[in-house]
Chains A and B, each alone.
Chain A
Amino acid sequence: MNRKSLMFALMVAGLLTAIGLGILGPVQAAKEKYFDRSGRLIVEEKQAAELLRAYDTKNREPEKTFPVPPPPFSEDIFPCSDCHADMEPNLQRRELEDMHTDIVLHHAEGQRWCLDCHNPNDRDVLRLVSGETIPFSESYRLCGQCHGIKLRDWKVGVHGKRTGYWNGDKQYLLCAHCHNPHDPKFKAMKPLPPPVRPGEARH
């Protein structure tokens, strides 16, 4: 064994020990710093896993669900499995020519197509990037993957229309009730008539 290979073996052994220590060694603690409402700096010791709770997909708490009216499906289109159950999913990104031609994707279309959101194996549900499938009634979680700040505002009732009772049952709407998910920008609309000018009054 020459010196070169000995050095290499030592390095590999050292690396393996380091990794082993990392896994088995003491759990990494970290400091979380934030300001409270009065502007005071708060420092808390936290476990690393706690800090990264959002990424801990296995152990995190289940998502809170919101009472929403039924999703706004086009007529007679749901359940999708009525047609799709017997069809072999074609994962090839392509322009649809036979069916769903009325849907024109105008929502970062350069970066995605149908099966990025629609689940290829069971069309009756949607699929998150994590692989988790969710019903259409929870589609806000799908939108929230990119529009996180909007989702956060929506959950507290600041984004989106809130109807119902201000001190009772609040009615939430799905993103898709107001925004067409395939073309989400609001369309311009005709304003209702302006007020009568003082000189135009018939008195």
Chain B
Amino acid sequence: MSDHSNCKKNPLAIDRRTALKGLATGVAALALPASDASASVWEAFFQKHFRELSKVELKQVLARLSKEYSEEYGKEVTVKATPAIEGVKYGYGLDLSRCIGCRRCVYACVSENNQSRDPQIHWIRVMQLDKEKGVDLSRAEHYYNPKSVPEDGHFYMPVQCQQCERPPCTKVCPVQATWKEKDGIIVVDYNWCIGCRYCMAACPYGARHFNWGQAQLPAEELNTDTHYLGNRPRPIGVVEKCTFCIQRTREQPGRYPACEEICPVGARKFGDLNDPNSEIRYLIENKRVFIFKEDLNTQPKFLYFYAT
């Protein structure tokens, strides 16, 4: 007697196909938000990729996020998605001859861009290097903490996202949650990021940071002027990075990035690479420019220079 006929005889037996189907449906149901979840959770769950959103959908998404954040932090939070200004390509210059390593930029960035205080996330990392040895990363020290800076025999090199023209990080993203915008800024769609951290492995500058825990962000310190692709509060398990203060620089008129504004020695320069009269073009044409890890051909738009 065959197994097949055996099965038919038992009225309670279910065949393998039905069992697997049932199991799959059950698992899928578990993964979905619970049935009593609010409408916004469902909306977030079925939200499209940022670049596939229609204008109406984008408006709804922004309104939903704004409402969510406002409720969570108890104050009015605006979330915008200002598009790139036509014909602009941002460039950044940092004067290595001026930087004194005071880390004012690091903390200005943290408060402007709503980085998590604990677990700590810093988009800017300042390296202390030997004047004798130049940019030798095996001698870089970023935990330096003397009584006063600059220290004799050292120079300082802040590193943040270099906004590469050929970014290795966006290439490796399996879900295209990170990409280069028209104005050259590399952005992340935090709602689309799956947290695989491939981009962090690909970035040669260590400029990407992962939200290992729920971001601790005091409501009174929250910057309420936020951008969808920039400084809105990030959920756990996504990657974030410097966006040249997208919420400021894409406005017309656009303020300078927070790190540029705070620098006490005026070492930081920002402008439009396409504008021949901009500061950044002047320094490219007239100063000695250093490109960090130039051999990798990432073509950064963050340039180190020597003004003296």
Contact = CB atoms under 8 A, between A and B. Distances in A.
Contacts of B283: 158
B269 A162 contact: yes
Nearest to A189: B102
A197 interface: yes
A199 B146 CA distance: 21
Contact of B266 (A168, A178, A188): A178
Interface residues of B, number: 49
B122 interface: yes
B225 interface: no
Interface stretch (B49-57, B129-137, B246-254, B290-298): B246-254
Given A186-B265, A203-B213, A158 B103 contact: no
Nearest to A152: B286
A77 interface: no
Given A167-B272, A191-B144, A159 B266 contact: yes
A188 B156 CA distance: 14
Interface string A105-132: 0000000000000000000000000000
Contact of B256 (A37, A159, A163): A163
A194 B122 CA distance: 10
A188 B256 contact: no
Most buried by A among B125, B142, B150, B256: B256
Most buried by B among A161, A166, A178: A166
B254 A165 contact: yes
Interface in B235-291: 249, 252-256, 260-261, 263-266, 269-272, 279, 282-283, 285-287
Most buried by A among B119, B253, B286: B253
B120 A196 contact: yes
Most buried by A among B144, B150, B270, B279: B279
A201 interface: yes
Contacts of A166: 249, 253-256, 270-272
B307 A158 contact: yes
Interface string A135-171: 0000000000000000001001111111111111100
A24 interface: no
B145 A195 contact: no
Interface string B89-111: 00001000000111110110000
A165 B254 CA distance: 5
A178 B255 CA distance: 21
Nearest to A163: B261
Contact of B122 (A153, A162, A163, A195): A195
Contacts of B249: 166
Contacts of B147: 190
Contact of B145 (A160, A194, A202): A194
A168 B145 CA distance: 38
B212 interface: yes
A62 interface: no
A7 to B, nearest CB: 57
A201 B120 contact: yes
Contacts of B266: 159-162, 178
Interface of B: 85, 88, 93, 100-104, 106-107, 118-120, 122, 125, 142-150, 212-213, 249, 252-256, 260-261, 263-266, 269-272, 279, 282-283, 285-287, 307
- Pairs of residues from A and B, 6 with the lowest C-beta to C-beta distance, nearest first: A168-B253, A165-B253, A161-B266, A188-B148, A192-B103, A157-B279
